[in-house]
Homo-oligomer: A and B are copies of this chain.
Amino acid sequence: MIKKRIGIVGATGFTGSELVRLLINHPEVEITAITSESRKGEEFSDVHPQFLGLINNKLISINDLPKDLDIVFLALPHGVSMDFVKAHHENYRIIDLSGDFRLSGKNIYEFWYKKDHVYADGFANAVYGLPELYRTSIKDAKLVANPGCFPTSAILALAPLFANQLVSKDHIIVDSKTGVTGAGIKVRPNTHFSVVNDNFTAYGIKTHRHSIEIQEKLEEQQKGNLSVLFTPHLLPVDRGILSTCYTKPKEKVGDKTLNSMYSAFYKDEPFIRLRKSLPNLKEVRGSNFADIFVTYDERTDTIISVATIDNLVKGAAGQAIHNMNIMLGFDEKIGLNQIPLQP
């Protein structure tokens, strides 16, 4: 069997190393090229020593990327991906892990990202890479916009409610808590160990750009306008997102109805686990699972749905590989059999 040839653009960050972690043991592909401008010429395992002995790739310049790649993953920062996509969208099938093509268009992007967008045409061609909602479009996509980590958790927690027109269009609150890897590998004052350890804080309140990503995708389910309030918080953990979501049902509802609705919506989904008890981060750590719990609080007439994911796997690299599997016609689960690392 000839393995498919994979390129990874951007190697020094957490998503780059996580793509490699998951692809090394993928039986149908080979990692043909990994690029890094700042570290080119070095071994990949010089940058990420945990891979010593496991991979022999030397980092190359993006200019030396082979032409004959079956998929290219972009593990680049927001605002940088769009340049590559603009230049190469004819040459490669691309899975972009940045936020550059997730929203509905240039204007909304520029409002939320406070950045000019250089390739407005890309939005129309990009498919939002959440397989549970967009599987069919992903199959033939040339450009997949891999979802943000918070949106993955929030949309999965809430989509069945909106798809079934069950809840109010406002009073939608997503209170999310993330591990530090969501902020990237770059050193910043707010990711210093002593700032984060034994600490907890909210951030990006009212203005975080995942707010609009969540809202737009839920509006597609609802087929109507919504008002979603999203508040992220920073946990002293490496990996994982837990989103606690509050919505108002249009009329009283029971847990049995909710559970049936979620079971039907996520029927046969390989990476969704509906939970009967409250999920936690370590039960999905290192894996591509999204664990979801939903319940109705009669006293306050509120639906509470909770989802957990590993932000680097289901929230980034794992979901990207799921998309790749769909695009290349593989069994969707292949290469994604990592068991949650607990404890």
CA distance A180 to B238 in the complex (A): 16
Chain B residues with Cβ below 8 Å from A181 are 194, 343
Chain B residues with Cβ below 8 Å from A180 are 193-194, 197
- In the complex, the answer to whether A21 meets B237 with C-beta atoms within 8 Å is no
CA distance A49 to B21 in the complex (A): 24
Chain B residues with Cβ below 8 Å from A51 are 339-340
A23 to chain B, nearest CB (A): 10
Contact of A235 among B171, B236, B239, B301 (CB under 8 A): B236
- In the complex, the answer to whether A306 meets B170 with C-beta atoms within 8 Å is no
Interface string of A203-229 (1 = CB under 8 A from B): 101100000000000000000000111
- In the complex, the answer to whether A206 meets B242 with C-beta atoms within 8 Å is no
Interface string of A156-198 (1 = CB under 8 A from B): 0000000000000011110101001100010111011111111
**Residue A124 at the B interface, CB < 8 A?**
no
Interface on A for B, CB 8 Å cutoff?
14, 17, 21, 24-25, 48-54, 170-173, 175, 177, 180-181, 185, 187-189, 191-203, 205-206, 227-229, 231, 233, 235-240, 242, 244, 246, 248, 273, 275, 277-286, 291, 295, 297, 299-302, 304, 306, 337, 339-343
Sampled A-B contacts (17; CB under 8 Å):
A14-B194, A17-B342, A48-B342, A51-B340, A170-B300, A171-B248, A187-B187, A187-B188, A193-B196, A197-B238, A198-B198, A201-B280, A205-B297, A227-B299, A229-B304, A231-B244, A235-B236
